[in-house]
Structure 1
């Protein structure tokens, strides 16, 4: 939805240029983090809330229609109708993206359907709380995150390390040294680009909050 506005690119470019670090890894992470903060601010303060803007435009349209009845001029009405149509299109795109419907391209104006899908997806995926290892119910976001991290850290770790070599000795080796060398080699730029292009552009973002289309 943001890509329909030319200011989105300007915000990203300005944020990307402003973050400089001697450490390349920290610089990239800093650039992405700043882009996220600046885009959030821009969305709230400049791009605007779609529903709020729609209500404003519709209220103004009612007033201008009354003025047009007295003056006979409907230039302002046509302008407002165009702006309202753009906002309606933006609203449809917003709910299409939130609903994660990938089998339907932009163009369908059935916003209520997309809103329903997004609401259903949220209700299905939201985690209200979890029981910790002691059976105590926790609801805070940080507490839930800590429970999940502890659970999977414990799941994928072991306290019986000496036996792993005995177990692994019974597993036949199918990866050759050449294959292992290729698997552990550094990623090439073309591989990263290929992986990004194979992703759905608006799929769930990673830990940095950015969807594939950003990269």
Structure 2
């Protein structure tokens, strides 16, 4: 089984990568989802072909630096040492980016080259993600991969399967109309290129990618190459001219809630969507955000900028504390 494609952030540090991507991108004329898959296969082959070359290049730089240090420190020698050192620093940066991308460490930003830390975080991240066995619905422990898949499929099938609960008209008729005609006109306006780019640049660059293996960094860094086609595809979907079934596929990932989880209730499922899907969703969110404040009750502690779910918890604690402290009086 071949390894699935995964865009490497360290490729952006390679001076030849942009020209390589431009060449691969111009080679294919498929629809965008298929084109991304085909370009990914080319990039995967390109990366494999460069792996040993980069390793040899780094070894040569280290040997060159060692030889230069043993020479008399003339101006010409010092200039060569500086040039070689810059090359080694670039290789170290590539290694740091490679490990930090896998470690999923978001709080540690630029400036720290502690690659041993990233390596340990990567190993811990992989160990945490391994599921060696699960309890089925009867409490029996299963460790065979096929049996675990069966348990997972049944659990989430029962959990998310739609049930026939009748029409919602009776409930919806009680909902107060909050969207005015002018607001509705703004919501129904044709989507634009600027809205697509605004959504792309506001995304976190290295969040876990979806099935196609591309993080938001790929779109942000090489928008001048792929931007026109991405914009055209997203606008076709947003303006109702194309169905989005091609990109509506996700990886379902189980995040442990506790140490050493045993059953599926101890996991939190998340869906890793393709960035194309995220772009379209984010454009819709940006379009609706200015009007949510008028649609969602002020008692609701989420979904609106400036509101947090924890606010309601803090208010409840304050009320409880006030009731305990109030010993006398009618109020």
TM-score normalised by length of structure 2:
0.47
Structure 1 gap segments, 5+ residues each: 22-26
> Structure 1 residue 17 and structure 2 residue 26: aligned?
yes
Number of the residue aligned with 1:165: 166
Cα deviation 1:156-205 (Å, max 9, x = unaligned): 214x53xx106x466445386979x89x9799354443333232101101
CA separation in 1, counterparts of 2:53 and 2:121?
Answer: 20
Output the CA distance in 2 between the equivalents of 1:47 and 1:91.
12
CA offset digits 1:49-76 (Å, max 9, x no partner) = 86675445435544x359848xxx9476
Distance 1:145-1:201 versus aligned 2 partners, 3 A rule = farther
Which has the bigger relative contact order, CA under 8 A and spacing at least 6? Answer: 2
Q: How many residues align?
A: 198
1:133-155 deviation per Cα after TM superposition (whole angstroms, max 9, x unaligned): 79643337xx8667645543442
- Which consecutive residues of structure 2, in runs of 5 or more, have no partner in the other structure? 1-9, 220-331
| Counterpart check, 1:200 vs 2:204 | yes
**What's the counterpart of residue 17 of structure 2?**
8
Q: State the Cα distance separating 1:131 from its structure 2 match.
A: 6.1
Mapped to 2, the partners of 1:10 and 1:149 lie a distance apart of: 44
**Structure holding more helix per residue:** 1
| Whole-angstrom CA distance in 2 between matches of 1:125 and 1:52 | 33
- For 1:10-49, what aligned pairs fall within 5 Å after superposition? 10-21=19-30, 27-46=31-50
In the alignment, which residue of structure 1 is the partner of 2:128? Answer: 124
Contact kept in structure 1, 2:69 and 2:81, CA below 8 Å: no
Deviation at 1:85, TM superposition (A): 2.1
After TM superposition, give the deviation of residue 4 of structure 1 in Å.
1.7
Secondary structure of the residue aligned to 1:127 is coil
Larger Rg: 2
Contact 1:16 1:34 in 2 (8 A): no
Q: Distance in 1 between matches of 2:145 and 2:57?
A: 35
Scaled by the length of structure 1, what TM-score is found? 0.68
Q: Quote how far apart the aligned CAs of 1:28 are.
A: 0.6
**Equivalent residue, structure 2, for 1:88:** 92
CA distance in 2, matches of 1:67, 1:100: 41
Q: Please, what is the CA RMSD of the aligned residues?
A: 4.0
Closer, same or farther in 2 for the Cα pair 1:50/1:112, shift >3 Å?
farther
